[in-house]
Structure 1
Amino acid sequence: MSQVQGHLDPRFESLRPLFQSFLDSGEELGASIAVNLNGENVVDVWGGYADTARTRPWEKDTIANVWSTGKTIIGLIGLILASQKKLDLDESVSTYWPEFAANGKQSVKVRHVMSHTSGVCGWDTPVTIQELCEDFEGAAAKLAAQAPWWEPGTASGYHSLTMGFLVGKLVRCITGTTMKDFLASQVAGPLGADFQFGAKEEDWHRVSDVVPPPPPPPQPATSTDTAQGEEAQKSISMRTLVNPMVGATNANTEMWRRAELGAANGHGNARSVARLLSLVTLGGKDPASGREFLSREIIDRIFEQQCYGTDLVVKQKIRFGIGFGLTGADTEVHWLPRGRVCFWGGWGGSIGVMDLDRGITFAYVMNKMDNVGLGNQRTKAYVKAIYDALEKAS
């Protein structure tokens, strides 16, 4: 039986039996949890297995595909470039990427792209997973050529896969390098954070395969199913989510690991996610080196609400700031606290949370997926345990 490994500050010791109980029950296969409080790593634990056969222990340096939790790192990169005055959040995307002005997109701002409100949440023309993995420039060019699917800035439509190509292309235009390389050389490298878009071949031995979620229960058919099905095929949600149709096991392929999808193929563990995101929580400076990555002015802009309502793609009530989701009592993440809190999560349950009011950065990365996008039941239990412990200690 696998035991929880790593460090827990005594104030957060209650997290250990909770994590262990999920490992013992099999609800958790392998995972890592990290909490940074006011610059101190008070939780850094891991446990379980990196494979379904339970032959490979989940170790300190095990990494896994985090799906859309990688969007928090994309948001961070955009904000770092804004802090460096290389990217203006209120400027048109086409200022940096001229081809993007085609078909009525000249008014799309950088902040629209970073808040899922650009109207470019999917591809007009059919694309394959292989094309997205192997031809970044071609996939980005298709997005540049098409018209927005709604008036930019008026609603959110989750940029499930396009986020990585839209921000990734901006990074290429501005810096002359890929987002993958920019992350490695300018952010993760200097911070010593074990996070990357894709996964280098020399790291594959320590990558945990993801375990697909169970299929959703079948729904009873009705007489209106055919008509509704035809209408759904035309919907923004369906056009986004089925072109291409991504399966969980795609993340376990060499092609996926070699690609720069960004929005879906970031690889790391909780320690590395928390290390990176703590820049936001701690006011933009790395405590270890004193280097400033984010200006306080740009951090404040995260909390400028860009959209608050039912998302056109995921059909859930979500509140977006610039670069991250924001909390709200009537949103899908009502289980996160109010205040200056920003976050995002990945398919299956992984998440990164930055709570500036309380000085907490929380990250959770696992390999056993559930059919959820913003936190599974284990995610919510870990979050509750952490905040309960903090309240008890205060």
Structure 2
Amino acid sequence: MTSIEGTVAPGYERVAEAFAANLALEAGAAVAVYRHGEPVVDLWGGVADPGTGRPWRRDTLQVVYSTTKALPSACACLLAERGVLDLDAPVAAYWPEFAAGGKDRIPVRWLLTHQAGLSALPRMPLADLYAWHPVIERLAAAVPEWEPGTAIGYHALTFGWLVGEVIRRADGRTPGRFFADEIAAPLGLDLHIGLPPSELDRRARVITAPGEREALARLDPAALATRTLVISDEPLDLDAPDALTCELPSVNGVGTARALARFYAALIGEVDGVRVLAPETLRAATSEQAAGPDVVMGVPSRVGLGFGLPSPEVPWYSPSAFGFPGHGGSLGYADPETGIAFGYLMNRLHADYARPDPRAANLIRAVRAAVSPAGR
């Protein structure tokens, strides 16, 4: 049996049991839970690199794919709170070139709510994705795929560049630098948008789902979903150093489960005297901004200001919860009603797209049992 390390507060033993059961489906993983600003679960185990047998350690880092999106969202909301960014102003007020292609009236808010109609881009070299500015130039020139504001369509990759460029234009810092300075540093978070090269050796190696790249290759290249998910000439490999050390604020966040949970804990309350967003800012950020069928992914969607909102279809269901899942199974979320903040990440990506990933759901059920009136 794979050994598990870490700590669990009294009353949360079920979470440790669920994590141990999950490791049968993993290579390596970590989970962390805060409640009312205090850590109650911090566990890790398994293998970080199956090729070498390197074990998952307390400071092992993992890329979290779209779970990253909560990070630039929090940055934008913080700038709005400070009066540096007006979410209802046109994007072009900060980024004048963006007005091309009939986009002069799109407000910043619609970038955060996936309503701008800019989910897809023509394919380009990976080097252009890593360089930032070539993508920004294409987005500035792009014509929306649908009338902005009339529908939700998941901006799987472009979200990070769109929101990130507005952050950069309004503040002067890249989204990764702003997050590092204004959120990660005050909280001591081992969580990054753009991993420092010196930290690459701490990362866990991604284990992709069998046949994933072949499945992408079989998609209709003209379909909006394909053009949204595949925007490079070569596969985007988030195990590659170049893909981890640049800033891809939609997908290349790298950190520990502990840092992810602490980040969410500091969104809903104070953690060691630090709170990221004021309560009124958080309420606005996590209130429903748009809901309906997603025209890209073909599923129901509810969104706040960059944060996903729950529905009966998602495993972290609670009326007051908010967060973001990532490709392969990672998840970060918080529930102000219970005071729970949760971070979960792993290196073996979920393989069966026909069935829900049971791993995070198992852990969340255990957390909810621990905080229910009958439990903790």
TM-score, normalised by the number of residues in structure 2? 0.93
- What is the CA distance between 1:262 and its match in structure 2? 1.3
1:297 aligns with 2:294: no
CA separation of 1:31/1:375 partners in 2, compared to 1, >3 Å: closer, same or farther?
farther
- Structure 1: distance between partners of 2:72 and 2:348: 24
1:201 aligns with 2:197: yes
- What is the CA distance between 1:246 and its match in structure 2? 6.9
Cα contact 1:324–1:344 (8 A) shared by 2: yes
Equivalent residue in structure 2 for 1:258, among 245, 259, 262? 245
CA separation of 1:348/1:164 partners in 2, compared to 1, >3 Å: closer, same or farther?
same
Find runs of 4+ consecutive structure 1 residues off by over 6 angstroms.
Answer: 216-219
5+ long unaligned stretches in structure 1: 220-224
1:8 aligns with 2:8: yes
CA separation of 1:105/1:218 partners in 2, compared to 1, >3 Å: closer, same or farther?
closer
Counting aligned pairs with the same residue, the percent is 34
Cα contact 1:117–1:153 (8 A) shared by 2: yes
Cα contact 2:268–2:279 (8 A) shared by 1: no
Residue aligned with 1:69, SS: helix
Aligned CA RMSD, in angstroms, stands at 2.2
Equivalent residue in structure 2 for 1:144, among 140, 147, 151? 140
Equivalent residue in structure 2 for 1:336, among 316, 321, 331? 316
1:128 aligns with 2:108: no
1:235 aligns with 2:231: no
CA separation of 1:344/1:211 partners in 2, compared to 1, >3 Å: closer, same or farther?
same
Q: Deviations over 1:342-382 (max 9, x none)?
A: 11111000001111111111110111101459972111111
CA separation of 1:309/1:254 partners in 2, compared to 1, >3 Å: closer, same or farther?
same
- Structure 1: distance between partners of 2:66 and 2:187: 21
5+ long unaligned stretches in structure 2: none
- What is the CA distance between 1:174 and its match in structure 2? 1.2
Q: Deviations over 1:125-173 (max 9, x none)?
A: 331222101x201211110111111111221111111111111111111
CA separation of 1:365/1:218 partners in 2, compared to 1, >3 Å: closer, same or farther?
closer
Q: Deviations over 1:217-266 (max 9, x none)?
A: 999xxxxx9xxx7xx43332122122227747x11212112211111111
Equivalent residue in structure 2 for 1:354, among 321, 330, 334? 334
- Structure 2: distance between partners of 1:138 and 1:80: 27
- Structure 1: distance between partners of 2:52 and 2:29: 13
> Which residue identity does 2:329 align to in structure 1?
G
- Structure 2: distance between partners of 1:217 and 1:266: 21
- Structure 1: distance between partners of 2:279 and 2:369: 29
Equivalent residue in structure 2 for 1:37, among 32, 35, 38? 35
TM-score, normalised by the number of residues in structure 1? 0.89
CA separation of 1:183/1:373 partners in 2, compared to 1, >3 Å: closer, same or farther?
farther
Counterpart for residue 364 of structure 2: 383
Q: Deviations over 1:18-58 (max 9, x none)?
A: 212232x3x11111101110111111111111011362110
Cα contact 2:28–2:346 (8 A) shared by 1: yes
Counterpart for residue 207 of structure 2: 211
- Structure 1: distance between partners of 2:207 and 2:73: 26
- What is the CA distance between 1:339 and its match in structure 2? 1.4
How many residue pairs are counted as aligned between the two chains? 372
